[in-house]
Amino acid sequence: MEYVSTRGQIRPIGFSQAVMMGLADDGGLVVPKDIPDVRGRCDDWRGLPYEDLALEVMTPFVGDIPRDDMRDMIHRTYDVRNYGGPVAPVARVGQMFVLELFHGPTMAFKDVALQLLGNLFEYILARRASGARAMNILAATSGDTGSAAICGVRGRKGINIFVMHPHGRVSPIQERQMTAVLDDNVHNIALEGSFDDCQRIMKELFGDLEFKNRYCLGAVNSVNWARVLAQIVYYFSTAAEVQKLTGAAKVRFAVPTGNFGDVLAGWYAMKMGAPISGLILATNENDILARFFSTGEYSLAQVRQTLSPSMDIQLASNFERYLYYRVGQDGDRLRGLMKQFARTGRLTVPCGCGPAGVSACPGGINRTDPDFQAGAAKTADVLDAIRQCHSRHGYVLDPHTACGWAVAEKFLPGDPIICLATAHPAKFPAAIEQATGRNDLARHPRIDKLMSMSTRSTLLANDKQAVREFIVNRLERP
């Protein structure tokens, strides 16, 4: 498999180079040159253990790592010692199913990909020439990516990680999960700005190729293709499991999203041939993606703080990958659209319904792509979803999962809906108590232990140069 950039200005590269490059050197995102069609193999994959299914799903995308080595990395990643049981168990809750992706070490869906990515980094670095066996990860997080990435690489030889989070805009527990890790190779930055500011600075520093190459910068954000690839697997595993439980020919997934990475993985699975009839995209009040899939216009608005901080995003970095396919994999056209967006804060993609425009689109689906249905959940909707789900079914949703649940309820009935549970509710006790009036529902021993641990982070101005100097000073100190 070869990989290219969405902006069309890098030569084709292999999987390992794509992993290490992170953000493409031309400012675009790395994508596979082709999407493999595996629909003829899905029946053979039913019933495989998660680790074996992961190997089968990933193999068509990985051409330069021996299969036995990939098998070893995958099995170490999803070992029971990391998860304590199944990687992606499914619970039936009322009329829907919930895919629990919070059983990893940091209790968020990011673990599924970032634990693998840590193993990939270590494997690839060990096989490089001796002078190139170092990597300095620069990451931006709206909450969960930071702790999962830190957990994946803490203490690893030859790897430093610098994580920017928006100061005061992640939950107290999310902040502690990052800042209570005191390993020498972990550097936490509290940036005086929003997640979008963190992500912008990260991309600008990656765009400085002299700086990127000199300091061996690598990416763990979902701009890294390996993140998306690892997430494709659980769409296949869960679709097969719910088909078996219901007898349905196809299923739907409801995905709470801010950066478009998790729902994009579902879209890739769908295009590969997984039995998925549609994706329900759910946002909170930061609804740039929901608005796009309703109107065809992608336009910036002010970032609003909500009960689901990991989704408090306006600039969805993975959306560029989706746009690349919407414009026919035309890198020049995509590059023009992104320049327009950088200049004006908006872009428009024709819906394909002819001269009548969006008004001619059929009802019941979104107006720009029949693969997606979309909606936004306001704070009241989120609180009501948490409250009603607990009172009716005895099941506790975290506020991000509640966004997906609230939006999914609008699209009942139809093919079975699987709502992705992206974090354990114990990470957001204030929201659970606000919704239910109870302070005993959102607890977990790992979280309780965090509260007595020492922390370390550095507060920096919302300024690219400040972050750049921080990185240089940490890497060049004696």
Q: How far is CA 311 from the centre of its chain?
A: 10
Is residue 274 a contact partner of residue 346, using CB atoms and an 8 Å limit? no
Residues above pLDDT 90, as percent of the chain: 86
- Tell me the per-residue pLDDT of 67-99, one tens digit each, with 9 for 90 and over: 999 999 999 999 888 888 999 999 999 999 999
The domain segmentation of the chain, as residue ranges, is: 226-436
> Out of 9-18, 75-84, 236-245, which region has the weakest mean confidence (pLDDT)?
75-84
pLDDT (tens digit per residue) in 328-346: 999 999 999 999 999 999 9
Residue 356 confidence (pLDDT): 39
Q: Which CATH number fits domain 226-436: 3.40.50.1100, 3.40.50.150, 2.40.30.260, 2.40.128.50?
A: 3.40.50.1100
- Distance of alpha carbon 200 from the chain centroid: 17
What residues are annotated to the active site? 110
CA–CA separation, 46 and 246 (whole Å): 15
Count of beta carbons in the 10 Å neighbourhood of residue 129: 6
The answer for residues whose C-beta is within 8 angstroms of residue 430's C-beta and 6 or more apart is 171
